[in-house]
Amino acid sequence: MKTPLFLIIILMAACVYAQDASIKKDGSTYSIELPAVRPELKPGDGKERTEAMCNICHSLDYISMQPQLSRGGWTAEVNKMINVFGAPMSEDDAKVIINYLTIIYGKKD
Amino acid sequence: MNTLFTRRGFLKTAGIITAGVTLGRFDDLVASENKPIIFPEKKKDLILLTSRPPQLETPLPYFKELITPNDALFVRWHLANIPTSVDLNQWKLKVNGNVDEELTLSMDDLKNKFEKATYTAVIQCSGNGRSFFEPRVPGGQWKNGAMGNVTWGGVRLKDILAGAGIKGGSVEIAFDGLDTGPLPSVPDFIKSLSVDKALEDDIIIAYEMNGGRLTMLNGFPVRLIVPGWYATYWVKALDTITVQPKQFDGFWMKTAYRIPDNACACIPGGSKPQKTVPINRMNVRSLIIDPADGQKIKTNKPTEIMGLAFSGGYSIKDVLVSVDEGRTWKEARLGQDKGRYSWVQWFYPWRPAKPGRYTIMARAVNSIGESQPMESLWNPAGFMRNKIEKIEVNVG
């Protein structure tokens, strides 16, 4: 397989960055920089609203990682986000998001 | 020339990205600004579960070593705002609440004013192995790499509490770290222990892992170590200890991290428990590390099966190995004993005479007779998986 040149350059740049992406010490201060990872969700009705709402508290790989949940399972997850963690979403938001998650990341019948 | 600018380093990074695409695991993941997905102070090949907050899993081959290196140890945070910068001149460990005298301790205080305690202990996430639960359960989909064996060094909690003086009538001690939720409504990650538990000799506030400082992602500058108990109690980037006059009832104790209140902490798959209690001591586990599942082995070639075993604070007495899918079991040889909180390595010589598919199983027994079940025990949060693991190898 032939690797495109631009990909090689990107990967080489990535390697150089890798060594710097460790802990830095400045006097008595220790600092790290987290990698900028921006996972996205699969296309579907409600994707944008789901991404916007869920991203407030956690990256979207939290969603893609889950097993295929039933509608009841996804409803319970969304309700937990509202009732326990205070996700600022309207009833309509919740409906759209539960639908999206059930269709795109739900259990196939 | 940069040392990482090598063919090997290049291939490794390329491997991470291609593997992700092939497996479809990270096909929805975009690394912006062309930066690779590597977390500070961590190996490139850790398995990325989630990025914000980070959850990283250790690949099994690292467990061929008795001690898990700092840069290979798994990472698990609960709240998105994790500490990424700590000034040791500013950071203080505060002890307050129902005490005679509030304390504010610096790192130098911890290192110079208290006796140091050091031991090796397994750190294991409550949900280690959750992805193998059937029926499946939501949560971090860990395989078996949400654990490690680390030599911790620090200060005994009981010495610090003695310095503050626990007032009569105190019930629990609560532990809070520097991490916070992204919204004020998100319950802060605070864990609690009963006063009796907190005063046990071996609970320490660790400022060292494997002889060095803690890595930032594993809880720099200090974390609580509750050896023998699941890592949910091992609060990272600890900065506040509060003695409670009554039971602490925060979300992460009262609602989350709970198990069915019975001897096996289990209920029928898919059901709901009647009564729950906070998760606590780890059960007995063993894993087969080498050969790996699916590996090919040559007929008649002497080989050695290797793995690890541990339990929640009781030493491992025996590890029994079966190479015939559980029909017969023989004792494995145990490796170096690093104390009752450490895992022990086990070794089993094997020379398969006939070609074919073999199922290898391992089962550990601890000093109080606790062992592992043949079938998975189920609970709705996917905690405490410890069934006898099986691997298959092809001999030919």
Q: With 0-12 CB in 10 A as exposed, 13-18 as middle and 19+ as buried, what is B219?
A: buried
Same domain, A51 and A96: yes
DSSP E strands in B219-367: the ranges are 223-225, 238-244, 258-260, 276-278, 285-290, 296-297, 303-310, 316-322, 330-331, 333-334, 344-350, 356-366
CATH superfamily of the B86-278 domain = Oxidoreductase, molybdopterin-binding domain (3.90.420.10)
- Structural contact between residues B196 and B171, judged by C-beta atoms closer than 8 angstroms: no
Using a CB-CB cut-off of 8 Å, the residues of chain B touching A69 are: 138
Q: What is the pLDDT of residue B3?
A: 33
A107 lies within 8 A of chain B by CB: no
Q: Strands B344-350 and A29-31: what pairing?
A: unpaired
Smallest Cβ–Cβ distance between A37 and the set B37, B182, B184 belongs to B37
Query: Could you give the CA distance from residue B140 to residue B143 in angstroms, rounded to a whole number?
Result: 9
Q: For chain B, which residues make up each domain, given as ranges? A: 4-76, 86-278, 285-395
How many domains does one find in chain A?
A: 2
Sign of CA dihedral B19, B22, B26, B32: positive
Q: Is A34 on the interface with B (CB under 8 A)?
A: yes
**Closest C-alpha among A42, A48, A69 to residue B141:** A69
| Backbone torsions φ then ψ of A108, nearest 5 degrees | -85, 135
* Cβ pair B121, B314 in contact under 8 A: no
A32 with A43, same domain: the answer is no
A101 — pLDDT class (breaks 50, 70, 90): very high
* A72 and A96 within one domain: yes
Predicted local distance difference test score (pLDDT) of residue B297: 97
Q: Which domain holds residue A47?
A: 39-109
Question: pLDDT (tens digit, 9 = 90+) per residue, B40-51?
Answer: 999 999 999 999
Q: Are residues A23 and A70 in the same domain?
A: no
Question: What are the residues facing A29 on neighbouring strands?
Answer: A26, B87
| CATH number of the domain that residue A99 is part of | 1.10.760.10
Q: Which pLDDT does position A4 carry in this prediction?
A: 62
Classify burial at B305, counting beta carbons within 10 Å of its beta carbon; exposed 0-12, middle 13-18, buried 19 or more. buried
Cβ–Cβ pairs < 8 A, chains A and B: 165
Q: Does B264 touch chain A (CB under 8 A)?
A: no
What's the rounded mean pLDDT across residues B107-119?
Answer: 98
For residue B10, list chain A residues with Cβ-Cβ distance below 8 A: 11-12, 15
Mean pLDDT, residues B322-335: 98
- Predicted local confidence at residue B31, as pLDDT: 43
Q: Is the pLDDT of residue A9 over 80?
A: no
Using the predicted structure, report yes or no on whether residue B154 has a pLDDT greater than 90: yes
Q: What is the pLDDT of residue B192?
A: 98
Range 243-262 of B in CB contact (< 8 A) with A: 251, 255
Shared domain for A55 and A80, answered yes or no, is yes
Cα torsion angle, B209, B211, B216, B220, sign = positive
What is the DSSP annotation of chain A? Answer: -PPPHHHHHHHHHHHHHHHHSS-EEETTEEE-----EEE-PPSSTTHHHHHHHHTTTS-THHHHTS--B-HHHHHHHHHHHHHTT-----HHHHHHHHHHHHHHHB---
Residue A72 and residue A82 in one domain: yes
CATH class assigned to B285-395 = mainly beta
If asked whether residues A48 and A78 sit together in one domain, one would say: yes
CB contact under 8 A, A31 and B85: yes
Nearest to A41 by CA among A53, A33, A23: A53
Give me the pLDDT at residue B113, please: 98
In chain A, residues with a C-beta closer than 8 Å to the C-beta of B54 are 34
The pLDDT-based confidence of A109 (bands split at 50, 70, 90) is low
Q: In terms of Cα–Cα distance, which of B281, B271, B335 is closest to B309?
A: B335
CB contact under 8 A, B87 and A37: no
My answer on whether A13 and A44 are in the same domain is: no
pTM for this one? 0.89
Q: How do B238-244 and B93-97 pair as beta strands?
A: parallel
Say whether both A97 and A65 belong to one domain: yes
In this structure, are A63 and A109 located in the same domain? yes
Note whether A7 and A47 are same-domain residues.
no
Q: Which of B34-38, B221-225, B280-284, B302-306 has the lowest mean pLDDT?
A: B34-38
A38 touches chain B (CB under 8 A): yes
Q: How confident is the model at residue B277 (pLDDT cuts 50, 70, 90)?
A: very high
Do A32 and A43 share a structural domain? Answer: no
Q: Which of A102, A82, A83 is nearest to A42 (CA)?
A: A102
Whether A60 has its CB under 8 Å from any CB of chain B: the answer is yes
CB B192 within 8 A of CB B172: yes
pLDDT band at B37 (very low <50, low <70, confident <90, very high): confident
Q: Given this chain, do its domains B86-278 and B285-395 carry the same CATH topology?
A: no
Share of chain B above pLDDT 70, in %: 91
Q: Tell me, rounded to whole angstroms, the distance of Cα A7 from its chain centroid.
A: 24
pLDDT at A3 over 80: no
Min Cα separation B268/chain A (Å): 18
Question: What does the pLDDT read at residue B35?
Answer: 52
Residue A72 φ/ψ, nearest 5 degrees: -60, -40
DSSP alpha helices (H): ranges in chain B? 7-23, 107-113, 157-164, 195-198, 251-254
Query: What residues of chain A lie within 8 A of the CB of B28, using their CB?
Result: 39-42, 60-61, 64
| Average model confidence (pLDDT) across chain B | 92
Instruction: Tell me B233's DSSP state.
Output: G
pLDDT at A99 over 90: yes
Residues B20 and B27: beta-carbon distance below 8 Å: yes
